Structure 1
Amino acid sequence: MAQIRIRNTNERIEDQEQVKAFLDAQHVLFEHWEPAKLPVELREKFALNDEEKAQILSVYDEEIRDLAARRGYEIWDVISLSDATPNIEELLKKFEQVHTHTEDEIRAIVAGKGIFIIKGEGEVGYFDVELEAGDVISVPENTNHFFTLMDNKQIVAVRLFIEKDGWIAFNVEDPEFIKA
């Protein structure tokens, strides 16, 4: 389950009700999908072919369509990243730049782990949301953030989009952001 680390204070929030309450206060959608729905052979597989990605979309079709109907998403896909991904280090450098989008950025983690680093409101400052299989998060539009991988560099996630071209990132130079 998701955990939060507030960077200014190094406070950790691990209780799921408190995680949800904190994210709600920051206007960040947080939900949970059942990770056990994913077939066993895909739970630890991080290099996927198109058929396997389609299978994941099929397994979570009901959840995806429900979320799309509530939030206006038009298209979705599956992203898989691992050490087997060509140019993974270059991709991570690109991901690890604070930016915003004109629509929210959503990830439904179906395998592996990842971290959203998000700029909170007021005195909160930046906080990390450590995600694992089953966690679904949506960072609001125009919110400073970025997404990266945990040390094991393995993740599979469903991404949903409003715009058919996907997210367009607008990089932000924020003097308040300090790499951890």
Structure 2
Amino acid sequence: MSRLHIHSVHPPAPGQDTAAMPLLSSEDGAVIAAELAARGLRFERWPARGELAEGADQEAILSAYAGEIARIQSQGRYPTVDAIRLGPDHPERQALRLKFLAEHTHAEDEVRFFVEGQGLFCLHIGEEVLQVLCTRGDLIGVPAGTRHWFDMGAAPRFTALRFFDNPEGWVAQFTGDDIASRYPLLDPLPEAATA
């Protein structure tokens, strides 16, 4: 189920953990959409089609979701689309997780439609950190320049359509800020990754 937590970026009072005390927490799709819209973000819940075959490749995924792709591309802003599918046996899962966990921005919007599984988008906007757990059927749109990071968990299992206005696809500019280390993840990082 989709979930939103909104945290303050201000340091906690002595003995308090800011990340453990969200200012707002909701699993209501309408509340999530309204809170994100108030901050210039897009969130929608769409019906997800039937299960994808275990070995579905990018072409099969894009074909299965041709209607949703046409719906987004009809808005004229995102001519390039691909599909990312990561499972718990992906050989680069740990390296990819650490890369996505570093706060970064993009010169273009980041638009994702989750067709399987889940992922945690964390958005650093002004004096807030918004954590959006996206699950199957969630569409999220993050405007260009928004500071954010993404956690897919230690044993990822998700498939998402990614829309771009840049034919090069995913290009990040890392901020160097360690803010992501101060907020909850889908699950803890292994000790070797944090040392």
| Superposition TM-score tier, normalisation by shorter sequence | 0.7 to 0.9
Largest Rg, 1 or 2 = 2
Instruction: Provide TM-score, normalisation by structure 1.
Output: 0.86
Pair 84,112 (structure 1): closer, same or farther in 2 beyond 3 Å: same
Q: Do the aligned residues in 2 keep the contact of 1:103 with 1:167 (CA within 8 Å)?
A: no
Cα shift readout 1:128-169 (whole Å, capped 9, x = no counterpart): 100110001011100000112145421111111111001310
Q: Do the aligned residues in 1 keep the contact of 2:40 with 2:143 (CA within 8 Å)?
A: yes
Provide the rounded CA distance (Å) in 2 between the counterparts of 1:151 and 1:92: 8
Letter of the aligned partner of 1:23 in structure 2?
L
Match of 1:13 in 2: 26
Q: Which structure has the highest helix share of the two?
A: 1
- Once the 2 structures are TM-superposed, how far is the Cα of residue 91 of structure 1 from its aligned partner? 1.0
Aligned-residue RMSD, C-alpha: 1.9
Match of 2:46 in 1: 33
Letter of the aligned partner of 1:33 in structure 2?
W
Match of 1:119 in 2: 124
Describe the SS at the equivalent of 1:89.
Answer: helix
Pair 176,95 (structure 1): closer, same or farther in 2 beyond 3 Å: closer
Provide the rounded CA distance (Å) in 1 between the counterparts of 2:102 and 2:137: 25
The runs of 5 or more residues in structure 1 that have no matched partner are: none
Instruction: Provide TM-score, normalisation by structure 2.
Output: 0.79
Provide the rounded CA distance (Å) in 1 between the counterparts of 2:163 and 2:52: 24
- Once the 2 structures are TM-superposed, how far is the Cα of residue 2 of structure 1 from its aligned partner? 2.0
Provide the rounded CA distance (Å) in 2 between the counterparts of 1:71 and 1:113: 27
Does 1:143 pair with 2:146? Answer: yes
Q: Do the aligned residues in 2 keep the contact of 1:95 with 1:148 (CA within 8 Å)?
A: yes
- Once the 2 structures are TM-superposed, how far is the Cα of residue 72 of structure 1 from its aligned partner? 0.8
Cα shift readout 1:77-103 (whole Å, capped 9, x = no counterpart): 110112211121111011110000010
Q: Do the aligned residues in 2 keep the contact of 1:113 with 1:150 (CA within 8 Å)?
A: no
Match of 1:104 in 2: 109
- Once the 2 structures are TM-superposed, how far is the Cα of residue 15 of structure 1 from its aligned partner? 1.3
The runs of 5 or more residues in structure 2 that have no matched partner are: 9-20, 185-195
Does 1:171 pair with 2:174? Answer: yes
